[in-house]
């Protein structure tokens, strides 16, 4: 994540908006220890989505799993997440308490 005062960005905002808002609020309330603990819970998901070079596909797949809406697949030239990628995403979403 990159940010400045009042800015918090990344794919997590699409995948788990309530969790990102909670983390943001903890930081803004200067509850840094609690924020770091919560971040450590979310970090495996954030790393999985951002570290495989398929951000668009993984954000779409994870968002479809974590929301009531199917957000579809990425537009060409990107390919949708594979079954193996989707299984990994589901695992980290469950471990983070998102689904």
**Running along the chain, 99 residues long, what does each successive block of 10 average in pLDDT?**
58 89 92 94 89 88 92 91 95 94
Report if residue 75 sits inside a domain.
Answer: yes
Report if residue 7 sits inside a domain.
Answer: no
| Residue 9, pLDDT score | 63
Is the torsion defined by CA of 40, 32, 99, 20 positive or negative? Answer: negative
pTM surpassing 0.85? no
Report if residue 5 sits inside a domain.
Answer: no
| Residue 84, pLDDT score | 95
- Return the number of other C-beta atoms located less than 10 Å from residue 75's C-beta: 8
90, 65 in Cβ contact below 8 A? Answer: yes
For the chain, first and last CA: distance in Å?
22
Report if residue 4 sits inside a domain.
Answer: no
| Residue 12, pLDDT score | 85
Range of the domain at 30: 12-95
| Residue 8, pLDDT score | 60
**Cα separations in angstroms, 25 against 6, 30, 34, 35, 43:** 10, 8, 11, 9, 17
Q: What DSSP designation does 15 have?
A: H
| Residue 36, pLDDT score | 94
Residue with tokens 């200067």, as numbered in its chain? 30
Q: How many domains does the chain have?
A: 1
| Residue 13, pLDDT score | 86
| Residue 40, pLDDT score | 94
């Amino acid at each position: 994540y990159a940010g400045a005062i009042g800015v918090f960005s990344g794919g997590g905002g699409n995948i788990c908006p309530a969790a990102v808002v909670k983390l943001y609020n903890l930081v803004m309330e200067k509850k840094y220890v609690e924020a770091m603990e919560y971040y450590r819970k979310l970090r495996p998901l954030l790393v999985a989505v951002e570290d495989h070079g398929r951000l668009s596909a993984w954000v779409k797949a994870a968002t479809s799993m974590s929301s009531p809406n199917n957000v579809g697949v990425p537009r060409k030239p990107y390919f949708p997440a594979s079954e193996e990628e989707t299984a990994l995403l589901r695992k980290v979403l469950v471990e983070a308490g998102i689904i």
